Structure 1
């Protein structure tokens, strides 16, 4: 915006600032950080107290004296909510008090800032604890599994040496490879094939049937011939056995699908309920922080002068 000033002798053009002058910032980040840390610390302190009280109610030695799991879960959830509300309320009071403001709106905004910082710090701390617990569990499981596998290998080797000390040294790797290759061959007369060959082809056909959802081409007839030759039964009886197995497989697949749908529905309902409870907890936390900040905001006191 330009201002023009005209006189008889000269014309002066000046430059001004459009709009109201900028106000100084009225937020105290030190007070907000202090309030957030106090809120998290008090919440953690009260949660530890609740954990200690809940642990003292468990008495495995005396049946019937220990509260039920559902009661403990409900009491723990209510105490967790109450502890967070108390911590956020005190944190909001601390932030508003340390900010030195006497404006109610500024005090409420400091309380909201403490609420946001407190939940952020809590999420970071819980994430680190969960990651550390998961890492410890994975390392422990890997160590146990590795030790078990090593012990099993040593036990198998010792058992083989005890039963047939010369058998392990007499195994020909080439003969073993030829036997495996012969077992994987298929397509010939089932009655002229070895049992290993028939079982290998039966396994392959059944695996393809599972992947494809049904038999393709002459796989059903081929499977009937293989089963008849392997079990030494007529082809008609082999067909009946295969039909029964297919019926059972379809029923099992239908039951598994129904169970999976029910489990997914329950999981979705649980996730929705948890999200609603979390939203309510965060909303109540914001209210507690604002109320604490409102109580911690300084009040202007008028001074009366006496002449």
Structure 2
């Protein structure tokens, strides 16, 4: 023990050597019990809110509240249920701890608040994992059925091919198929001398290049106008006008899609920020409720009467 001497008097500033340390003043059993009670009460109230919300749905009369009203009501009810659950849990923990000190009770209430949120997170994670596992099993069953059906169909097709269909296939000349494919793929000639399949193939090729590269050279644009004019039997000026109109509409559609994508991203960011603020408010309010419940549940030491 360290001492300090002033005008001949000694004052102690520590525990004597060999003295046992201060005993722990926290009851983990009480904290865990309070956390379990808080989660149970909050879950019970949320189930009650779910029942009330389902009762409010009336598809026959057409008087069902809107989605926004349901969302606001569910958020408020969740906040109230969480607050009441932590209030009761803090009270239970402080009462079971047996401590008559207000500071100890507040710390027990905060511990209940932390345990309660951890238990809620674990339960929510298990529910999400179970739902995902069920969905995966269902998708696997569907995929297995589809593959089995495909295998059966392939077997049937093979059996059919061994009949009259195989005899018909033997009568087809492979050289004719190759010549037809080469004729359909041959592009770059006079549009008036090309077949409709050839013109459409080259038009599709040029349009694909326009979409992927973002623009076409003047030579490709002239070629596209000639193909369109020959395919639809219109004047070259009319073909160029139609192409400009289609290109303008495509640019407007792309700009509109970009604008909607930005708006969706902004809405998602705003929604995430609002949800984060609400979660923070719910946790802060839950901590206050747990502390108040613990203060109420603090035991009052019995009064001791002294006789002279």
- Does the pair score TM above 0.5? yes
Q: CA deviation at 1:182?
A: 5.7
Partner Cα separation in structure 1 for residue 173 and residue 110 of structure 2 = 74
> What residue number does 1:49 align with?
48
Instruction: Report how many aligned residue pairs link the two structures.
Output: 284
Decide whether aligned partners of structure 1 residues 287 and 241 sit closer, same or farther in structure 2, where only a CA change above 3 A counts: same
> What residue number does 2:205 align with?
204
Q: CA deviation at 1:188?
A: 4.1
> What residue number does 2:241 align with?
240
Q: CA deviation at 1:91?
A: 1.1
> What residue number does 1:86 align with?
84
Partner Cα separation in structure 2 for residue 303 and residue 179 of structure 1 = 111
- 1:123-150 deviations in Å (ceiling 9; x for gaps): 2222332333344345546756886898
Q: TM-score, normalised by structure 1?
A: 0.76
Gapped runs of 5+ residues in structure 2? 1-12, 16-20
- 1:103-138 deviations in Å (ceiling 9; x for gaps): 212211121121122112212222332333344345
Q: TM-score, normalised by structure 2?
A: 0.75
Decide whether aligned partners of structure 1 residues 192 and 278 sit closer, same or farther in structure 2, where only a CA change above 3 A counts: same
RMSD value over aligned CA atoms? Answer: 3.7
Partner Cα separation in structure 2 for residue 89 and residue 135 of structure 1 = 35
Alignment of 1:138-153 (within 5 A): 139-140=137-138
Alignment of 1:124-139 (within 5 A): 124-137=122-135, 139=137
- 1:139-194 deviations in Å (ceiling 9; x for gaps): 5467568868988996xx99xx9xxx849963869676775566455444444444
> What residue number does 1:170 align with?
169
Q: Secondary structure at the match of 1:26?
A: coil
Alignment of 1:8-157 (within 5 A): 23-60=22-59, 62-64=60-62, 66-137=64-135, 139-140=137-138
Gapped runs of 5+ residues in structure 1? 1-18
Partner Cα separation in structure 2 for residue 99 and residue 173 of structure 1 = 93
Decide whether aligned partners of structure 1 residues 182 and 128 sit closer, same or farther in structure 2, where only a CA change above 3 A counts: farther
- 1:268-291 deviations in Å (ceiling 9; x for gaps): 322222222222111111111111
Q: CA deviation at 1:232?
A: 3.3
- 1:248-271 deviations in Å (ceiling 9; x for gaps): 111112222222222233333222
> What residue number does 1:220 align with?
221
Partner Cα separation in structure 1 for residue 173 and residue 71 of structure 2 = 60
Partner Cα separation in structure 2 for residue 177 and residue 100 of structure 1 = 93
Partner Cα separation in structure 1 for residue 298 and residue 205 of structure 2 = 77
Q: CA deviation at 1:85?
A: 0.8
Decide whether aligned partners of structure 1 residues 217 and 68 sit closer, same or farther in structure 2, where only a CA change above 3 A counts: closer
Q: CA deviation at 1:247?
A: 0.9
Decide whether aligned partners of structure 1 residues 236 and 112 sit closer, same or farther in structure 2, where only a CA change above 3 A counts: same
Q: Secondary structure at the match of 1:218?
A: helix
